[in-house]
Amino acid sequence: MRSLLLAAVLFLFIQQGYAKQPDSTFAKPFRDGSPACTSCHSIAAAGYTATAWGPDISGLADMLGDDPQGWADFAKSSGIPAMDAAYAGSRLTAEDFRDLAAAYAALPPAEGEPKLTGREIAGYAVLVLLITAGLAKIIFRRNPELEND
pLDDT in tens, 122-133: 888 899 999 999
Which of these ranges, 8-22, 46-60, 86-100, 105-119, has the smallest mean pLDDT?
8-22
The Cα–Cα gap between 21 and 50 comes to 10
Kindly state whether residues 60 and 120 are assigned to the same domain. Answer: no
**Whether 110 and 141 share a structural domain:** no
Minimum mean pLDDT among 26-30, 57-61, 97-101, 110-114: which range?
Answer: 110-114
Does a structural domain hold residue 79?
A: yes
pLDDT of residue 116: 64
Q: Please check whether residues 111 and 128 belong to one and the same domain.
A: no
**Domain count along the chain:** 2
Tell me the C-alpha distance between 11 and 54, whole Å.
31
Q: Which domain holds residue 133?
A: 116-149
pLDDT of amino acid 141: 82
Percent of the chain predicted with pLDDT > 70: 75
Regarding whether 61 and 108 lie in a shared domain, the answer is yes
Q: Are residues 82 and 57 in the same domain?
A: yes
Residue predicted with more confidence, 53 or 97: 97
Mean pLDDT to the nearest integer, 34-61: 82
**Which pairs with CB-CB distance under 8 Å and at least 24 residues apart come from 24-29?**
24/103, 25/99, 25/100, 25/103, 26/103
* 109 and 51 in a common domain: yes
Q: Please tell me whether residues 97 and 84 are part of one structural domain.
A: yes
Tell me, yes or no, whether 82 and 147 share the same domain.
no
In a domain, 5, yes or no: no
Same domain, 93 and 105: yes
Residue 123 resides in a domain: yes
Spatial separation of the C-alpha atoms in residues 134 and 140, rounded to whole Å: 10
Task: Give the pLDDT score at 132.
Answer: 94
Indicate whether 8 belongs to any domain. Answer: no
Residue 43, pLDDT above cutoff 90: no
